[in-house]
Chain A
Amino acid sequence: MKFIDEFRDGGLASGLAAAIRLAAKRTRDYHFMEFCGGHTHAIARYGVSDLLPPNVRMIHGPGCPVCVLPVGRIDMAIRLVREAGVTLCSYGDPLRVPASGGLSLLKAKAGLGRNGGVRGDIRMIYSSADALRLAQREPERQVVFFAIGFETTTPPTAVVIKQAQALGLKNFSVLCCHVLTPSAIASILESPAVRQWGSVPLDGFIGPAHVSTIIGSRPYEFFAEEYRKPVVIAGFEPLDVMQAILMLITQVNDGRAVVENEFARAVTREGNRKAQQLVAEVFELRRSFAWRGLGELPYSALRIRGCFADFDAERRFAVDYQAVADHPACECGAVLRGVKRPQDCRIFGSACTPENPVGSCMVSSEGACAAHYSFGRFGEVAVAK
């Protein structure tokens, strides 16, 4: 697989591991947060931590849109299906996220048809285009597209909303739960709650790969300047991650805090202007939005503009957002901010497992807790020969 296999080469990995070992000063620790769930997944899946010296530690950030999707939003989606009888089209990721009342989208699907007269449905799709096609093919079916994701996934939603308008579709709408990356980064670096846990011992960030192809490297410059933390945008392959770690160590050693782009083959400073314009045309900022584990964050999420109100499921159907409190023993807030590790949480691995996730970090395979549980928890066990 071109542009993939070369960036997973074990030989090059040894070389970069040696470079990292040489660059990391033995006299200090380095804590870097990889913001993106995809990076968390790559690190865990390839065992990148094994190739790092012990004084370089990766902290897993909140960049998994499924992990930060509040329970209340999934409850909304389930209510739409059960009460308004819509056909909800969703990507695979949120289908198993636990919602209120012991339900998930998958469990709600299993219970449909025993619901009296209302016949809703839940379908897994791979692309927003699939949801639009379904609505086109079956005009008598009320289709709602469950739109989750960061800035990478937002432009595909904008495209189908515009297409739906051009087609004059009467049976298609979107439940918009798109969230914004810079807001999440800001919340990690600055929030009243941080005082509760102490200031975050972060020396730098690995910036998201594919979000950055859309928004460019420019938005991160604010963080580098304002908070004096280096940011290196990295591709998703393990060699990209290792190179980014090396670049971060070098910046820290030199006392620099700028934005660097390791993913130059796909990311530019300006990003994808065409996609940005499409998004700006269809969406506007919400004043505030609840993030699971992080609380209410200002200007952190999008909603559909008034001129496309016909395609906004929240306006078309009478369904409100109702906040649901996190489990009291859940430490996701601290884990998402990098202040605690998964294994520091009381219920990690016992009450909270991938099979029965209590908090957001365990919900998707990219959440810090899920990744550690699935790939890394052997670390505490010595292997006898």
Chain B
Amino acid sequence: MCLALPCRIVELLPGEQARIEMAGVGKEVSLALVDDVAVGDYVLVHVGYALTRLDPEEAEKTLALFAELGEVALLETDAGCA
């Protein structure tokens, strides 16, 4: 339900703020809800606040899983139709 977007941190600012960027759109957001984020990290941003850091490795694993499950299923489907 809550619109939150993965954004890249481009600059850390004083007062627990950061400048983020997403596909050419820049914004200043609050880091008051997260710890230990660095420039280059991706965070989920909701109503002007970073909620959590995104884990790029987990993202890769998830996508790889989609691809694998899909391939297997499509092969099986083709085999079934053959």
Residues in A lying within 8 Å of B, measured CB to CB: 1-4, 6-7, 11-12, 14-16, 18-19, 21-22, 36-39, 63-65, 91, 126-130, 149-150, 152-153, 155-156, 159, 208-211, 213-214, 236, 239-240, 243, 246, 262, 264-267, 272, 274-275, 278, 366
Contact = CB atoms under 8 A, between A and B. Distances in A.
A267 B44 CA distance: 11
B48 A129 contact: yes
B61 A16 contact: no
B82 interface: no
6 contacts: A2-B42, A14-B70, A21-B73, A128-B47, A265-B59, A272-B34
Interface residues of B, number: 41
Contacts, number: 146
Where chain B touches its partner, the secondary structure class is mixed
B16 to A, nearest CB: 9
Given A3-B42, A156-B47, A36 B1 contact: yes
Contacts of B66: 12, 15-16, 239, 243
B49 A159 contact: yes
Interface in B1-23: 1-6, 8, 22-23
Interface of B: 1-6, 8, 22-23, 30, 32-35, 42, 44, 46-49, 51-52, 54-56, 58-59, 61-63, 65-67, 69-74, 76-77
A264 B63 contact: no
B1 A210 contact: yes
B48 to A, nearest CB: 3
From A2, A155, A246, residue with most partner B Cβ within 10 Å: A2
Given A243-B65, A265-B55, A265-B62, A38 B72 contact: no
B8 A2 contact: yes
Contacts of A278: 32-33
B74 A155 contact: no
B42 to A, nearest CB: 6
B62 A214 contact: no
